[in-house]
């Protein structure tokens, strides 16, 4: 028994690194590389400068790797991660991946439909990038010279990054950064449509802004957002927005907003005290326009006449959350 413990103790000592690093003089080479690295700026580089900086960075990693002590090995790991990040940054890879992701729906490139670049499963992603290389190259052909250079030389490295598991807890690793743009397409389309409908409703001063059916777009976005890491963070606001599109509360809010923005409508009602108000530009609103919100009877009169009938049903329930809040927003 004792012998066994001694043996284990011996093995632990044997495999542990020297904790004390050799004096600075013996790693002068690393310090020089480090100082060369910190001189250069990492932005707006040409290919030659980026390559030189990238080379120095990985030489630093190799330099620390050769020193057999704890702090040096820690440095090695630290700079390994840093250099990988900086390489992607210097060669403008993130922007290029974003371009690639914007083709998610395969609108311009049929080949996008043939590979599962967006799979939640990292081994499926690996397979997609490997067998779909020519498709990837076709879609990214207009990326910057720097990123084209990177892709040309480092494609298999890129594949290995894209095929890493995401870290759902920290969302820190580079793969998560690169993967984070994969739902941009859905979200852009959803927000565009929402904004378009809101603008249209305000412009035409129709009776309350009632969202058209965005259910399908919401569903697309939710599915996409549930398969990522950074993207999952954005799921909650999108879900909330989608779930609230046609609730009585949202309708009340939309109706009141459209009234506040429509001086012409407000002028028609005595209780608003706005008969003398000058017409406003579309999209602008005055402090006085909010005053009717302080008078619930007045609000009810306007809703009854100007907005969708069903909105009246929810008014007592949602008044405090919606009307009061809007009225409050005008006075402070």
Ligand X SMILES: *[C@@H]1O[C@H](CO)[C@@H](O)[C@H](O)[C@H]1NC(C)=O
Contacting residues toward ligand X, per CB under 6 A: 21, 27, 30, 32-33, 36, 51, 54-56, 58, 71-72, 75, 87, 91, 139, 141-142, 150, 153-154, 213, 215-216, 271-273, 291-292, 294-295, 298
Instruction: Identify which of residues 232 and 330 has a Cβ nearer to ligand X in the complex.
Output: 330
Instruction: Identify which of residues 205 and 294 has a Cβ nearer to ligand X in the complex.
Output: 294
The C-alpha atoms of residue 303 and residue 315 are separated, in whole angstroms, by: 9
Instruction: Identify which of residues 72 and 161 has a Cβ nearer to ligand X in the complex.
Output: 72
Phi then psi for residue 69, to 5 deg, are -150, 165
Both tokens assigned to 220: 């697309």
Minimum distance of ligand X from residue 157's CB (angstroms): 7
Minimum distance of ligand X from residue 2's CB (angstroms): 37
Minimum distance of ligand X from residue 120's CB (angstroms): 24
Instruction: Identify which of residues 229 and 307 has a Cβ nearer to ligand X in the complex.
Output: 307
Minimum distance of ligand X from residue 180's CB (angstroms): 21
Instruction: Identify which of residues 127 and 138 has a Cβ nearer to ligand X in the complex.
Output: 138
Instruction: Identify which of residues 34 and 312 has a Cβ nearer to ligand X in the complex.
Output: 34
Cβ burial of 90 (10 Å; 0-12, 13-18, 19+) is: buried
Q: How distant is the alpha carbon of residue 155 from its chain centre?
A: 24
Minimum distance of ligand X from residue 69's CB (angstroms): 6
- Residues 170 and 180 sit within 8 Å (Cβ to Cβ): no
DSSP assignment string, 237-254: HHHHHHHTTTSHHHHHHH
Gyration radius of the chain over CA positions? 30
Residue among 186, 278, 284, 276 nearest 238 (CA): 186
Instruction: Identify which of residues 69 and 124 has a Cβ nearer to ligand X in the complex.
Output: 69
Phi then psi for residue 18, to 5 deg, are -60, 125
DSSP assignment string, 270-299: GGGT-TTPPPPPTT---SGGGGGGG-HHHH
Minimum distance of ligand X from residue 67's CB (angstroms): 6
- CA–CA distance from 154 to each of 52, 147, 160, 301 (Å)? 15, 10, 10, 67
Minimum distance of ligand X from residue 93's CB (angstroms): 9
């Amino acid at each position: 028994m004792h012998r066994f413990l001694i043996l284990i103790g011996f093995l632990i000592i044997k495999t542990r690194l020297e904790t004390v690093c050799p004096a600075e003089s013996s790693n002068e080479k690393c310090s020089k590389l480090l100082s060369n690295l910190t001189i250069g700026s990492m932005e707006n580089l040409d290919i030659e400068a980026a390559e030189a900086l990238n080379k120095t960075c990985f030489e630093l990693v190799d330099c620390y790797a050769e020193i057999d002590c704890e702090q040096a090995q820690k440095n090695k790991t630290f700079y390994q991660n840093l250099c990988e990040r900086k390489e992607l940054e210097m060669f403008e890879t993130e922007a290029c991946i974003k371009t690639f992701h914007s083709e998610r729906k395969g609108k311009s490139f049929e080949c996008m439909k043939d590979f599962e670049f967006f799979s939640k499963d990292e081994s499926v992603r690996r397979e997609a990038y490997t067998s779909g290389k020519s498709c990837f190259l076709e879609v990214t052909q207009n990326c910057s010279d720097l990123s084209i250079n990177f892709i040309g030389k480092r494609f298999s490295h890129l594949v290995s990054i894209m095929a890493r598991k995401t870290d759902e807890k920290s969302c820190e690793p580079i793969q998560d950064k690169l993967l984070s743009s994969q739902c941009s397409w859905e979200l852009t389309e959803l927000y565009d449509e929402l904004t378009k409908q809101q603008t249209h409703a305000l412009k035409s001063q129709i009776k309350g802004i009632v969202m058209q059916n965005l259910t399908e777009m919401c569903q697309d976005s939710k599915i996409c957002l549930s398969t990522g890491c950074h993207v999952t963070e954005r799921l909650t606001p999108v879900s909330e927005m989608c779930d609230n599109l046609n609730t009585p509360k949202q309708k009340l809010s939309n109706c009141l907003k459209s009234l506040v923005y429509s001086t012409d409508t407000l002028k028609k009602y005595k209780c608003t005290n706005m008969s003398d108000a000058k017409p406003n530009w579309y999209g602008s609103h005055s402090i006085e326009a909010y005053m009717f919100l302080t008078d619930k009877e007045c609000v009810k009169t306007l809703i009854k006449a100007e907005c969708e009938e069903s909105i009246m049903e929810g008014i007592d329930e949602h008044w405090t959350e919606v009307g009061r809040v809007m009225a409050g927003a005008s006075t402070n």
